[in-house]
Amino acid sequence: MDTQTETELRQRIVEIGRLIHQKGMVAAGDGNLSVRLDRDRLLVTPTGFSKGFLEADQLIVVDLNGEKVSPQFGKWRDLKPSSEIRIHLECYRQRANVHAVIHAHPPMTIACTRAGVSLAKCTLPEVLYDLGTIPTAPYATPASPEGPLAVRELVKKYDAIVLDRHGTVTVGATLWEAYMRLERVEHSAQVTLAAQQALNGPPALLPPEAIEKIAAMRQTVFAQMGRDVCAECNACPVSERHVSRQRASGTPDLSRLEALIEAEVRRAIAN
């Protein structure tokens, strides 16, 4: 969780907004960022501004209903919160451990939705470890009440969601974590599209044993943070088998997991 002051969080939104813009993951006034200030208040970006050139004083403090709760002064006094504030509010409502939300329009990810290329496949180890799989929410009219409905169930399980023909929503314990997940999604989309083009078809999944090892590592690491992410990563048939076997046994099979990790370490040393 971010323990920074409001001044620092304002600066962090400005910096990450600039980064998202520089990396071409938003165009014009697209995208929006928010972060929890405390239990009842959020800091959000205003509607209608490029995320590459925000000023700290432009950011707006709202409550968990999206109502502006702190006055702004001078030329910024009439600014309104982001048009996608509803999606942000939904993420915070559904997950107490979400402290930051970023919505962006990364082009390769959007291209995947247009081309019918799914990112919910276990093809890349870093993605599987970090995000599980990346689901795509059904199309919703941007800035409408359809947006929060589309992500409501998915955000309970996933830290990164693709919005059909629109963009991404990534969440995290900090703004930086939400940003890193956005980068991860777009990189995954770039690699997946390039592979699809080279192969003239979908890239192969990771072998089942590789998926199982990474899923086990992911589960162990995230369990220390209180999350059963393996059970949440349910888009891949191999993961489902892994989960159902663990559910059947009642508790995670730690001896098996330790053996897997030990084997990985031995192999790394041997190499």
At 134, give phi and psi (nearest 5°).
-115, 105
CB atoms under 10 Å from CB of 263, counted, come to 11
- SS3 assignment, position 104: strand
Contacts (CB under 5 A) with Zn ion, residues 166-225:
167
Give dist(CA 194, CA 200) in Å, integer: 10
Give dist(CA 36, CA 263) in Å, integer: 41
Query: What angle, 0 to 180 degrees and rounded to 10, lies between the N-to-C axes of helices 175-199 and 107-115?
Result: 50
Least distance from Zn ion to the Cβ atom of residue 205, Å: 30
Which segment (67-75, 92-100, 146-154, 159-167) binds Zn ion by CB under 5 A? 159-167
Least distance from Zn ion to the Cβ atom of residue 191, Å: 23
Least distance from Zn ion to the Cβ atom of residue 43, Å: 19
Which segment (35-43, 113-121, 164-172, 262-270) binds Zn ion by CB under 5 A? 164-172
35 vs 216, beta carbon nearer Zn ion: 35
- Residues in the interface with Zn ion (CB under 5 A) total 1
Least distance from Zn ion to the Cβ atom of residue 210, Å: 35
DSSP letters along 227-266, please?
Answer: --HHHH--SSHHHHHHHHHHHHHSS--HHHHHHHHHHHHH
10 vs 86, beta carbon nearer Zn ion: 86
30 vs 130, beta carbon nearer Zn ion: 30
Length of the chain: 271
106 vs 167, beta carbon nearer Zn ion: 167
Contact 68, 49 (CB under 8 A): no
Q: Which residues contact 180 (CB under 8 A, 6 or more apart)?
A: 172
Least distance from Zn ion to the Cβ atom of residue 143, Å: 7
109 vs 219, beta carbon nearer Zn ion: 109
Residues 125/130/133/139 CA torsion (nearest 10 deg): -130
125 vs 142, beta carbon nearer Zn ion: 142
Which segment (37-45, 116-124, 163-171, 235-243) binds Zn ion by CB under 5 A? 163-171
Q: Which residues contact 261 (CB under 8 A, 6 or more apart)?
A: 216, 217, 220
Least distance from Zn ion to the Cβ atom of residue 154, Å: 16
Least distance from Zn ion to the Cβ atom of residue 85, Å: 12
148 vs 167, beta carbon nearer Zn ion: 167
Which segment (128-136, 161-169, 197-205, 247-255) binds Zn ion by CB under 5 A? 161-169
Query: Which residues in this chain contact Zn ion in the complex, by CB under 5 A?
Result: 167
